[in-house]
Amino acid sequence: MQILRTLGAVGAAALVLGAPLRAQGPGGILPTPQDTPNRQGTRGANFLHIGIGARGGAMAGAVGATVSGPLSWYWNPAGAAVTESFHAVAGRQQLYGDLGVGQTYAALSLPLLGGVVGVNLNTLNSGDIKRTSELNPFGERLGGNVFQWSSSVIGLGYAKRLTDRLSVGVQGKYISEGIPDAGTSWVAADIGTQFNTGLFGLIVGGAIQNIGGTSRASGALISRLVSTADRSTFAENRRVDLFTRQTEIPIEFRLSVGSDLLGSANSLFGGAGGKHALQGELSVTDATDYSTQAAVGIEYAFRNLLFVRGGKRMYNDDRDRGGYSGVGVTGGFGLRIPVLGRPVKFDYSFEGAGALQNIQIFSFEVGR
C-alpha cells in the first residue's frame, strides 16, 4: 500500500507540473499557437534546401525567374537555356559561423544538341565530429577519433528556348549522404520553366525539384554480427542488417515573379541603355518538409560592372525566436571584370541566421 500511495503521489505531481509545461510552447509537450507542428526533419537530404551562389544568397533566394547560367541548375533549370557559349561557375559557402559546416559547388553549361547541356556538383561537409560510443561517450579511438558527415548531389541537365519568350529545362540528379560505411542515396529529377511576358520586363518562373522516390540506409555500420554457434540452424556467426526506414527526399515547388524595374527597353521605369539597372523579384516556395516561405530580393547594377543586392526571406517558423532580429535578412555585392574578352565575376553574400550565427557565400564565375 505504501508503494501504491507513493506512485499515486508521483503521478499527481507529474500532472500538476506537466500542465504549465504543455502551455509553454517551445520545449513543451504539446504544440501551441506559438509552437505549431511542422514537417521539418521528416525527409532526407535536407541540404538540398541550402541555396548556392552568392547572387541567390544576397537576394534571399528570390532568383528563380531571373537566374541564368550554370547556377540555374540549382534554382530553375530553364534559366540555363540563354547560355550562348561555355559558362562555368564555382563557389564556397561557409555556413553558420564557426561551426565548421562548409559547402562547395561547381557547374558548367555548354550550348549543345540544339539547346544547352550542363553538369553540376554540390557537396556539403560537416567538418570533424568526435567519434563516441555507448562505452566511450567522451571519445572513441577505434576507427579513428573523428568522422565526418557528407552530402552530395551530381546533376546532368538540358535546357532549351522553345520561343523567344519561353524556356524549359529538365535535370536528372544522383543524391547521396551519410557517414563512412553508412549512407543513403536517391535518384531524382527537376523540371522548370521561365516565361518573359513582354510587359514591363516581367518574367515568371516555376520549378518542381527533387522529384524522386524513397531509399533506405545501407553500409557496414547498418549491420551487426550475430552469434549463432549455439543454434542448430546455423553453424557459424552471420551478419544481420538492422532495420532502417524508407526515407523520402524533400520535393520542392518554387514560383517566382521578377521584373526589370530600370535599365532595359521593357523596364517598368524605362531607361534603356543607361548606366543604371534595377531588378526585383518575389518568390514563394513550398516543400514536403517545411512551411510555405516567401522571399523578396532586389539587385542594383552600375554599368553592368558593379552590383549591390539585398533581400529578406520569411521562413514562417520559429527560428527568429529568442530575440534574433536579423534572421533571413540578406545582402551582398558583385564585380564583373572583362578578362581576355570573357567576363569574370566575383560575388559575395551574407545572411543572418540567428542562433546559427550567419551564412557567407563566395562565388567565382567565368562566362557570358
7: helix, coil or strand? helix
For 63, the grid coordinates are 532568383
d(CA 79, CA 324): 35
- pLDDT value at residue 37: 58
Q: Where are the alpha helices (DSSP H) in the chain?
A: 2-22, 54-58, 72-75
- pLDDT value at residue 33: 57
> Are β-strands 129-130 and 115-125 bridged in parallel, bridged antiparallel, or unpaired?
unpaired
Are residues 151 and 182 in contact, defined by beta-carbon separation less than 8 angstroms? Answer: no
Q: What is the pLDDT of residues 308-333, one digit of tens each?
A: 999 999 887 766 666 666 888 999 99
Are residues 66 and 298 in contact, defined by beta-carbon separation less than 8 angstroms? Answer: no
Question: Dihedral sign, CA of 22, 316, 174, 177?
Answer: negative
Is pLDDT at 133 greater than 70 in this prediction?
A: yes
d(CA 169, CA 280): 23
Distance of CA 151 to the CA centre of its chain: 11
DSSP structure class, residue 218: B
**Domains, the chain, ordered by start:** 40-213+249-366 (2.40.160.60)
- pLDDT value at residue 22: 34
- pLDDT value at residue 132: 81
How many CB atoms are closer than 10 A to CB 351?
23
Q: What is the pLDDT of residues 185-230, one digit of tens each?
A: 999 999 999 999 988 889 999 999 999 999 998 888 887 666 665 5
In percent, the amount of the chain with pLDDT more than 90 equals 52
Is pLDDT at 282 greater than 60 in this prediction?
A: yes
- pLDDT value at residue 271: 67
> Which residues contact residue 354 at a Cβ distance below 8 angstroms, ignoring those fewer than 6 apart?
319, 320, 322, 324, 326, 327
